[in-house]
């Protein structure tokens, strides 16, 4: 996963902890490269409890690695096209279509 901000690729950490920082931005897990970590406009989500940006997002939950608080990730409601199709055409349309057909067929 590249840095979300500058797109830099993460190089394999030689030894020890990676200098890259994991965070959550708009409910999405992101990585921040060491260069971008120095910036102050990272626009990362913060923990509501302690204000930390050390969050991890997984399985629809966002967990704070500083205080351990877990909250549900706010995912936008998916558009359910199946329900849209199941509801069928708006009421009245079929009658209009039938009337138009009747006109065409000269049945009025
Ligand atoms: Zn970067
Ligand atoms: Zn926290």
Give ion ligand 2 contacts, CB < 5 A.
Answer: 47, 49-50, 52, 64, 66-67, 69
10-42 burial, b at 16+ Cβ within 10 Å, e below that, comes to eeeeeeeeeebbbbbbeeebbbbbeebbeeeeb
Query: 72 C-alpha to center of ligand 2: Å?
Result: 14
How far is ligand 2, taken at its centre, from the CA of residue 3, in Å? 23
Q: Mark out the alpha helices in 7-92 (DSSP H runs).
A: 34-37, 81-86
- pTM metric for this prediction: 0.60
**pLDDT for 51:** 95
Report pLDDT for 29. Answer: 92
Q: How confident is the model at residue 90 (pLDDT cuts 50, 70, 90)?
A: low
Q: Phi and psi for 49 in degrees, rounded to 5?
A: -85, -45
Which is higher by pLDDT, 17 or 26? 26
């Amino acid at each position: 996963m590249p840095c979300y901000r500058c797109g830099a690729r993460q190089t394999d950490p030689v030894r020890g902890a990676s200098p890259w920082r994991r965070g959550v931005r708009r409910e999405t897990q992101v990585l921040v490269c060491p260069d971008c970590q120095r910036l102050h406009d990272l626009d990362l989500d913060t923990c509501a409890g302690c204000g930390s940006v050390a969050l991890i997002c997984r399985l629809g939950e966002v967990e704070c690695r500083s205080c351990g608080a877990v909250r549900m990730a706010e995912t936008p409601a998916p558009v359910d096209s199946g329900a849209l199709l199941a509801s069928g055409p708006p009421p009245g349309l079929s009658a209009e279509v039938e009337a138009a057909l009747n006109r065409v067929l000269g049945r009025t």
